[in-house]
Amino acid sequence: MSIQFDVAVIGGGPAGLAAAIAANGAGAKTVLIEREARLGGILKQCVHDGFGLVRYGERLAGPEYAQRYINELKETDVQVSLLTFVDKIKNLPDGYDLTLVSAGGLRHIRARAIVLATGCRERTARQIAIHGQRPAGVLTAGTAQYYTNILGQLPGRRCVVLGSGDIGMIMARRLTLEGAEVLGVYEAKSIPSGLPRNIAQCLLDFGIPLHLCKTVTRCFGHARLEAVEIAGVDENMRPIAGTEERLECDALILSVGLIPENELAETLGVRLDPVTNGPVCDQNGQTNVPGVFSCGNASHVNDLVDYVSESGAAAGRAAASYVPGERLYAELRAGEGFLYAMPQRVELSRVPEELTLYFRSRDERGKTRVSVKLGEKLLLQKRFNQLRPPEMERVTLDLCGAAIGEGGVILLEMEEIV
């Protein structure tokens, strides 16, 4: 006999914790399913500070931030299932049947609504076409972080970091503090991929060189990494023949992008956005599949955990109040200059008085004016001194009195300010 829940939250990281707490607070019988032995997700190994500035107004380390939500969860009656995998989800007329796998074997539960808070995974060496064997010493930045911060083991003594994403720069500093020599951070793009504060605090403060328009094309070594081949790249990020150089090292740390984990979503028929690689969602995190919600980095990769928690709480509340039925939507469109904007659509039956939109610019821009329009009506106009792709921005619209109809379009535009 399957146990019946109102809401099943899959993933016990910051988004899942926030979703479970919010769903429970809205009166829903909630279960939180986590495949690891501890809650907290990636935050467990993020010993650096900088978390919680938006949510708490404090600079917290990752475990501190997670523990605040874990403590709050303990005050609820949410049922937590650790070391549990969701093997399969079956659509039923009145909800979903979830097949769970744990040390106790197979079991089934049923839920009226599901919140996917499955986070994201890192791109590997094979996904970015680095040639050579598969020697020990080639690790993603998250794996290197796990070895260093959780296991207390140094992954290498002479390290090369590929990719200037935030976790790559943070690990360059962390490895330096632990006694390793970081030979450099290499970035194929012409601009860094991480936040300016991490460039300053992780690289400049520690004298770690940053090389732009360069990438790793080959690994040398069989049992253990012995060296990498570095090459310059052209404007299309293709290696330039004749620029290759060999660099002796015993560890290559990859910080080359994150991909939302949406295998479960795809099995349910959830439509994915080709830009974000996450589900197409409305302002409540609901996907095109009724009763299935997405939040946090499973929806799109965020640069602040505070935003992850915000989206988790919104999805949890919406899942708790979910009632089957037809819904009407308006579309959100981002004009030229935007990489993407979220949410991709607005559910009209419960349009909030205030609607928060998130966006990233496609390129680095100076002084820019961002306008949000509904037809010919200007809903908001905001000036930004600088826009950069690594930094997600957000604007909040006052929708009081805005008559958004089915098929309506909310349009984001940007223009340079002279």
Q: What is the pLDDT of residue 1?
A: 63
pLDDT per position in the chain (418 positions), as tens? 679 999 999 999 999 999 999 999 999 999 999 999 999 999 999 999 989 999 999 999 999 999 999 999 999 999 999 999 999 999 999 999 999 999 989 999 999 999 999 999 998 877 888 998 889 999 999 999 999 999 999 999 999 999 998 999 999 999 999 999 999 999 999 989 888 889 999 999 999 999 999 999 999 999 999 999 999 999 888 999 999 999 999 999 999 989 999 999 999 999 999 999 999 999 999 999 999 999 999 999 998 899 999 999 999 999 999 998 888 888 999 999 999 999 999 888 777 778 899 999 999 999 999 999 987 888 899 999 999 988 899 999 887 656 676 667 889 999 998 7
Return the exposure string of 349-364: e unless at least 16 CB atoms fall within 10 Å of the residue's CB, then b: eeeeeebbbbbbbeee
- Model pTM? 0.92
Q: What is the pLDDT of residue 125?
A: 79
Report CA Rg, the chain: 22
Q: Which among 107, 111, 108 is positioned nearest to 95, based on CA atoms?
A: 111
CA distances for 80 relative to 12, 20, 32, angstroms: 9, 10, 5
Please check whether residue 303 is in contact with residue 122, taking contact to mean a CB–CB distance below 8 angstroms. no
Beta-strand pair 138-140/292-294: unpaired
Distance CA 125, CA 127 (A): 5
The region that residue 407 occupies, defined by phi over 0 for left and psi between -120 and 50 for alpha, beta otherwise, is: left
